[in-house]
A and B are shown apart, each in its own frame.
Chain A
Amino acid sequence: MIYLPIAEMPVNVLLVLLVSGAVGFVSGLVGVGGGFIMTPSLIFLGVPAPVAVATGASQIAATSFSGIMTQTRRKAVDWRMGALLSVGGIVGSASGVALFERLLRLGQLDLIISLLYLFLLAGVGYLMTAESYAVWRGRTHRGVSILRRPARTIAHTLPLRMPFPRSGLYISIIPPLALGFAVGALAAIMGIGGGFILIPAMIYLLRMPTNVVIGTSLFQVLIVASLVVILQSTATQTVDLVLAAILMAGGVIGAQFGARVGAGLRNETIRGLLGLILLAASVKFLWDIVVEPEERFVLGGGLW
């Protein structure tokens, strides 16, 4: 047991290490950031939601930095695109933190977080399950066709176009900025990295080649997560350094093991399983806000 100075509660170090390790393992296994599993797990362990969201961001920064080191070696980062996404992300996360503070004061933070998680988990869970089901049914050709890049999208027609040599693109800078903004805002409110929204959007909307997508999204996630940590610690003072250190240790180790195990396993099976877990979790979120609560009153207003 160790007492967390900001969350003002004792936690079992081994338990938190185990949970963060497990989340890191899953994220390494499937290739997602894991923030969207980590934050609800922390809340489930009794960590106040604001502390869980703000502290989770520091763990995301750690995991994404270790990912970038690997991706840089493979020259799989489009720095120019990453910088644009980050500029959008910086503005987005700043607005997100401001909104977070406002919602906290209004007492509606938990509802908004529940709703966002509901849609996010249901959406991602459905996509993963559907994809792996399709593969399992043997219709692999569909999976291949998804990854084929159509020639032109809105990104090619909007003004303010510039070249992105590493991605081999010549597109408008508006979609990357907007995408960065949206993901940054979500990251600040929900305590997620946002990679699992960024990656599909980069492939389908910006038509980036898949080999640079992961590295570039990691770069944006790192910048945004670091900024969220600094903003949350100045605006709401909900970042717990002790909790963060435990999460980072568990998370990065778990992720490395997960990545290694994942390399030797059938990807569709894992993705399908995770998809089902996410769907189940979204049902739980739905249940909590649809079913009449036993206790009609809640404490709110900034103090938990």
Chain B
Amino acid sequence: MVRRLLLLLALLLFVPPARAQNPADIANDLPAAVVEQQISVSSDYRGSFITVFGHNPDRRGRGDIVVVVRGPNVSTVVMRKRREFGLWINGDPVRFAGAPSFFAVLSNRPLPEIASAQLIRRYELDPAASARLESGTGSADPSAYRAALVRLRFAQGLYRWYVGPPTPERRSGLSTYPGGLFLGVVRLPANAPIAQYHADAYMFRDGRLISAQRIPVSVSRVGIERRIHDLATTQSFLYGVVTVLLALFFGWIAALLFRRT
């Protein structure tokens, strides 16, 4: 008995610290995994899909599943156009210290029915809740900017929310199967940034978060794409020179080819 207790204690001590958005009272033990943990971007890349599957441990099949795929948070500026001298110019910037560069949330029924607005904010389950304002932002009304940020990123295809299973028109969605299996598919558009992503699966019951799981998904360049990008970022001067030499080569070839006539 004592040995068992000691073992339990050791296990507890070795549990990694919970993430900021998942307080300590939530177990990170929801059985879930991602099919595409490594997404490679080569020259024929046209976007991808992220498939998250897992199992709802509730024996009686109660509870709701929410799956969120997040891109890294980046600082973002939203500006409001205002009229000056008859021209519409960008003004009144509001800076978000961190807003997700990609955000897709899947749920088996509408989020407000699954969790309270408070919990949605706390666990950052919708994109508006995930954008953090920079402290000391001026007097401008931030909620309008927050809404605008979501609207603009939605228009770019980078913020998405899906309720229920996929339909013939869209492949993104969350399906739940008898026995507790769930399967979420998120379309990652080609303009989504190349970065480290995270897929989070959450299980709610009676409006409370019961357990969760976080799975990293890395999107990275491979082959020639990688070599070009590495050259451009680490050897940017050499990269510029190579581009110019290529230009001279093309110009020379063209002048040679069309010399006659």
Contact = CB atoms under 8 A, between A and B. Distances in A.
A258 B232 CA distance: 33
Interface in B35-58: 41-47
B90 A66 contact: no
B80 interface: yes
Interface string A239-282: 10110110011001101100010000000000000000000000
A111 B232 contact: no
A69 interface: yes
A226 interface: yes
A251 to B, nearest CB: 8
A76 B206 CA distance: 83
B5 interface: no
A70 interface: yes
Given A58-B246, A229-B243, A6 B236 contact: no
Given A3-B46, A241-B246, A298-B81, A234 B240 contact: yes
B77 interface: yes
Contacts of A300: 77-79, 90, 93
Contact of B86 (A3, A231, A290, A298): A290
B240 A293 contact: no
Nearest to B148: A297
Interface hub of A6, A239, A241, A260 (most chain B Cβ within 10 A): A241
A37 interface: no
Contact of B237 (A108, A234, A256, A289): A234
A62 B93 contact: no
A107 B92 CA distance: 11
Given A5-B232, A297-B80, A62 B250 contact: yes
A233 B239 contact: yes
Interface stretch (B113-121, B197-205, B207-215, B253-261): B253-261
A201 to B, nearest CB: 24
Interface in A118-158: none
Interface string B181-204: 000000000110110000000000
Contacts of B79: 107, 297-300
Q: How many residues of A sit at the interface, in one of the four size bands?
A: 35 or more
Nearest to B147: A297
B229 interface: yes
A161 B95 CA distance: 53
A108 B240 contact: no
Contacts of B47: 10
Given A10-B45, A293-B81, A303-B76, A231 B240 contact: yes
A231 B241 CA distance: 10
Contacts of B252: 65-66, 69
Contacts of B240: 229-234, 239
Interface of A: 1-3, 5-6, 8-10, 58-59, 61-70, 107-108, 110-111, 115, 225-226, 229-234, 237, 239, 241-242, 244-245, 248-249, 252-253, 255-256, 260, 289-293, 295-303
Which 4 A-B pairs give the minimum distances between C-beta atoms? Answer: A301-B77, A65-B251, A230-B240, A297-B148
Given A290-B86, A300-B77, 20 more contacts: A2-B43, A3-B225, A5-B226, A6-B232, A61-B248, A62-B250, A65-B247, A107-B90, A233-B237, A233-B243, A237-B233, A239-B232, A241-B246, A242-B43, A248-B247, A248-B251, A289-B88, A291-B88, A293-B81, A297-B148
